[in-house]
Structure 1
Amino acid sequence: MPKREKDMLLPIRYIACLFVAVGAIVLQVVAQEAPTPDTLTLERSIELALAHNRNVQQSRIQTQGAAINLRQAKQNLLPSLDAGMSHSYSQGRFINPTTNQYVEENFVSGNQYVSSSLVLFDGLRMFRNITLQAHAYRATQLEEQLMEEQVALDVTAAYINVLTAKDMVAQIDSQVAVTQRQVERSTVLFDEGAIPPGDYYDLKGQYASDLNSLNAAKNTLSENLLDLFRLLNLPYDEQVSLAPLQAVPLPKAPMSDADGLYQTASERLGIIKAADHWQQQAEFSLKAARSSYFPTLSLGAGLSSNYSKDGMGSYYDQVQNNLGRSLAFSLSIPIFSRFQVRNNVARAKLDVLNAEQAAQTRRNELQQTTHQVLFNLEAAKERYRNLVEQVAHYTESFRIAEVRFNAGAINSVEFLIAKNKMDNANANLVIARYQWHLRQRIVDYYNGELLVGEAE
């Protein structure tokens, strides 16, 4: 190949390689930024939310902070150890630290020290602080579990709302198809003068109304899908599909009465245990505050040395010869602190009272909620069963009305009344079915069947 052709091919090869490299990078970035699968299940949606939801992540950060506080409380029992050294240059009249004599010259000196201290007794404040931090850490762990459980419930509700909206779109789309067939049939008859104009325009108006309902249902579907992705904290993907739920929800565990459900929830969920740990944390905070009434006894020890330019011997010899050792006991007795300790104890008592009230409130709210969720579940079941019968009756009524309308035995008003009754019943049945799903899963949660983490 001529040299000139080779020179022309080099830039082309370079550009081709550059495009391939850029394309690979773009594909990798897109793959990293689009972790959402093509089909979402409810379980996978909960997993994604627990991995990416901002509130869950914040709760985990708080738990890590509480773990650090507990570790620091334990490490406060260890002795402290400090070391230091200095080197100075002086000019004028100074005392030589090695000879204790005044000198008037340029003077170089330095010193070194190592010191340590250990608290022997502080009214058990540090031990009580360890205990209160342990309760705070456990409470924070349970609060993290509570957040995960709440997010799991929120995702379940959002997922069911999307499925409800999707089925509503399908339901209204079928209504539009029925109306459209009647409009097409009536248009032919109207052009031939075979039906009254009022019936024709009634059907046209109903068709426009059905189209508006379909558009509103599609908008609701998009909004519900957006709400789901907000909980997942992932980029919105309108192409994702959601796996359907079973036709009728079934409980994962034997149904309990209200009192049994309350007992199960209080034992297996973290909502009550977290409040109890916060209460114990407040009680030990009060004990730690009272420890300030007691004296504090500390032990200290240290090594120090110095050197100077005019000292005897080398630097190492001076450090060895001037070495000083110390051992000291320190006792601090609180006598009057402008009532700070007393006020701290008073505030700690208020914190205990507040924690007791919060724990009792949580118990009352849980007891009330477990009764309410059972009421809601039974009502959802009964509503679904009644609507199944209603849909069957209205479907048959509409079938008869359509036959009679096509035969000219009734007008458009009667036909549309029968159609709207059937359409509304079908829409209500879709909503009732998913409401039963949601109510059942809420009961399963309080029954301990939707746990995302075990409470010890």
Structure 2
Amino acid sequence: MIRKLFLIGIIVVLCVYFVRAQHDSMTVEECMRFGIEQNLTVKNAQLDVRISHNHYIASLGEFAPTIDAYGTGGKRFGRSVDPKTNLYTSTSFIESNMGLNIVLPLFEGFTRVNRAKFERLNKQISHLSARTYENQIAFNVMNAFFNVVLEERLLNLAREQCNLSQQYKRQMEVFLETGLRSKAEMQEMEARLKADIYQVTYRENNREMALLRLKQWLNLPDSDSLSIRFTSGDQMYAAKVIPSDSLYLVSLEMLPEAQALKLKIEASRKSLAIAKGGFSPHLQAEYLLATGFYNTERNENGKVIPFSTQLDNNLNHYIGFRLSVPLFSGWKKVTSLKNERLSLKKTEIQVLQEKQQLREDVENACLTLQAASQEYKKAGEQVKAEEMNLQTIHRKWEEGLVSLFEMMEVRNRFIAAKAEQTRTEIQYIVQQKTIRFYETGTFFN
């Protein structure tokens, strides 16, 4: 019985393992979402969002009063002040003090207000940064996905080319038996077929490497199986002619990294305001509740007054205000203020650089989309022309009017035209998704 249960347990574990190791056929959107969920950089960015939120909550807590409770106890030796008579004494005595101190800041040159705004901006920036990382991972996964699609289609074309060579070889064998072709042409045909077989092997290896890179972006072990699902008919649509200037203005409003640019400048200005606040006077209200116990406190009979009685008798209150005016701090605050001004200028320059880079990316995306649209259309026309030419040259070859070399050259041009059509189609789809990303700020529909 125990042996049966042990075997059943092993079978269940193996089934769970193989189920987890298998992944259903995934679309490009599913791959991008899965890659974002599994990416460690995105997880760290999400933790940064939580940390920045905690910093923001802590900055709001600076508006609340500070409450401290304290207690001390010990024995004094040597010359000290007697708490009962306030006169010096050389007699040692036991002393214990306790109290409650409440401090409420009233004015600090708007430092707390600016710090709260600064932390709120940092919170928003960290959230946008997390979205930026997600978009970067989605973009990399998308490129890896379509690279797999491209390699699979090129592999199919290599197999098609190999099948044509095998077909031609069978026809060549018939021609050789009837004396219509020579042995030299048969040897050339065999050499062409071996080259095509090598091309299939080469494309299979490229496909495996592309699939491995996709697994790496999805954070999947190489042992896990992965299949993708892609239908070009569902992805292709007419390219919209969008002026790059208009798309750039839209991207500034939609892209998270573009939205973060404005917040970075605001955060740098708030940091400068915090540094300026260090030169203003600080005003705070204070409340102190204190009491103590001393063994020098004795009653008429010479006995030490009880602890609880002394706590009531020695209870005292203090209410007041504290004004602090900074005069000199060894140039620390002045240096900090200068550095914050330089940091603000540096941030402004970085924002301009990132905007320039974004404009260049948008312009390149628009031009690439237009070029890809034209190339894809021309590639389709070339495929039709090469296919008709192949059919014509094949009939002539069967009739013995053209050589094997001429027919194979036409065949190679036909396969190359179909490969170029595939490449331009994938490029066209990727650029479409890139343009839509600049329009919407996301790769997901």
Deviates more, 1:387-396 or 1:93-102: 93-102
- Equivalent residue in structure 1 for 2:325, among 317, 333, 346: 333
Please tell me whether the aligned partners of residues 249 and 440 of structure 1 are also in contact (alpha carbons under 8 angstroms): no
- Equivalent residue in structure 2 for 1:440, among 403, 428, 432: 432
Residue in 1 that maps onto 2:242: 256
For residues 143-292 of structure 1, what are the structure 2 equivalents within 5 Å? 143-187=129-173, 195-236=181-222, 239-247=225-233, 249-251=235-237, 255-292=241-278
Residue in 1 that maps onto 2:102: 116
Question: Is residue 2:403 matched to residue 1:415?
Answer: no
Unaligned runs of 5+ residues in structure 1 are 1-12
Question: Is residue 2:19 matched to residue 1:15?
Answer: no
Question: Is residue 2:348 matched to residue 1:365?
Answer: no
Q: CA deviation at 1:94?
A: 8.3
- Equivalent residue in structure 2 for 1:300, among 277, 281, 286: 286
- Please tell me the residue identity of whatever aligns with 1:390: Q
- Please tell me the residue identity of whatever aligns with 1:320: D
d(CA) in 1 for partners of 2:250 and 2:84? 80
Alignment deviations for residues 270-317 of structure 1 (CA, whole Å, 9 cap, x no partner): 232210100011111111111111121222222233335676344333
Residue in 1 that maps onto 2:398: 406
Question: Is residue 2:342 matched to residue 1:354?
Answer: no
Assess, with a 3 A threshold, how the Cα gap between structure 1 residues 424 and 173 changes in structure 2: closer, same or farther.
Answer: same
Q: CA deviation at 1:365?
A: 2.4
Residue in 2 that maps onto 1:391: 383
Alignment deviations for residues 218-275 of structure 1 (CA, whole Å, 9 cap, x no partner): 1221222222222222334664221113337445996532222122212222232210
d(CA) in 2 for partners of 1:91 and 1:369? 76
Assess, with a 3 A threshold, how the Cα gap between structure 1 residues 217 and 132 changes in structure 2: closer, same or farther.
Answer: same
Q: CA deviation at 1:327?
A: 3.0
d(CA) in 2 for partners of 1:363 and 1:450? 18
Q: CA deviation at 1:161?
A: 1.2
d(CA) in 1 for partners of 2:327 and 2:228? 70
Assess, with a 3 A threshold, how the Cα gap between structure 1 residues 86 and 29 changes in structure 2: closer, same or farther.
Answer: farther
Give the TM-score normalised by structure 1: 0.86
Give the TM-score normalised by structure 2: 0.88
- Equivalent residue in structure 2 for 1:136, among 122, 130, 134: 122
Deviates more, 1:419-428 or 1:407-416: 407-416
Secondary structure class of the residue paired with 2:204: helix
Residue in 2 that maps onto 1:5: none
Secondary structure class of the residue paired with 1:155: helix
Secondary structure class of the residue paired with 2:143: helix
Deviates more, 1:246-255 or 1:139-148: 246-255
Residue in 2 that maps onto 1:321: 313
Residue in 2 that maps onto 1:9: none
Assess, with a 3 A threshold, how the Cα gap between structure 1 residues 198 and 247 changes in structure 2: closer, same or farther.
Answer: farther
Q: CA deviation at 1:181?
A: 2.3
d(CA) in 2 for partners of 1:231 and 1:142? 21
Assess, with a 3 A threshold, how the Cα gap between structure 1 residues 228 and 54 changes in structure 2: closer, same or farther.
Answer: same
Question: Is residue 2:12 matched to residue 1:24?
Answer: yes
- Please tell me the residue identity of whatever aligns with 2:349: Q
d(CA) in 2 for partners of 1:109 and 1:323? 15
Please tell me whether the aligned partners of residues 302 and 326 of structure 1 are also in contact (alpha carbons under 8 angstroms): yes
Deviates more, 1:55-64 or 1:423-432: 55-64
- Please tell me the residue identity of whatever aligns with 2:430: L
Residue in 1 that maps onto 2:300: none
d(CA) in 1 for partners of 2:306 and 2:177? 122
Deviates more, 1:169-178 or 1:306-315: 306-315
d(CA) in 2 for partners of 1:187 and 1:253? 49
Q: CA deviation at 1:427?
A: 1.1
Alignment deviations for residues 335-392 of structure 1 (CA, whole Å, 9 cap, x no partner): 1222222211111111111222222223322222222211111111111111111111
Please tell me whether the aligned partners of residues 239 and 373 of structure 2 are also in contact (alpha carbons under 8 angstroms): no
- Please tell me the residue identity of whatever aligns with 2:383: V
- Please tell me the residue identity of whatever aligns with 2:123: Y
Unaligned runs of 5+ residues in structure 2 are 298-303
- Please tell me the residue identity of whatever aligns with 2:246: G
Identity %: 18
d(CA) in 2 for partners of 1:449 and 1:135? 20
Q: CA deviation at 1:188?
A: 5.9
Q: CA deviation at 1:452?
A: 5.8
Alignment deviations for residues 378-419 of structure 1 (CA, whole Å, 9 cap, x no partner): 111111111111111112222222233333332222122111
Alignment deviations for residues 85-123 of structure 1 (CA, whole Å, 9 cap, x no partner): 3454x597686976576546xx76543232222222111
Aligned-pair Cα RMSD in Å: 2.8
Please tell me whether the aligned partners of residues 239 and 370 of structure 2 are also in contact (alpha carbons under 8 angstroms): no
Residue in 2 that maps onto 1:4: none
| Count of equivalent residues | 436
Question: Is residue 2:37 matched to residue 1:45?
Answer: no
Question: Is residue 2:71 matched to residue 1:69?
Answer: no
- Please tell me the residue identity of whatever aligns with 1:289: A
Alignment deviations for residues 152-201 of structure 1 (CA, whole Å, 9 cap, x no partner): 22222221111111111111111111112223443565578763232122
Please tell me whether the aligned partners of residues 76 and 95 of structure 2 are also in contact (alpha carbons under 8 angstroms): no
Question: Is residue 2:391 matched to residue 1:428?
Answer: no
- Please tell me the residue identity of whatever aligns with 2:386: Y
Question: Is residue 2:374 matched to residue 1:382?
Answer: yes
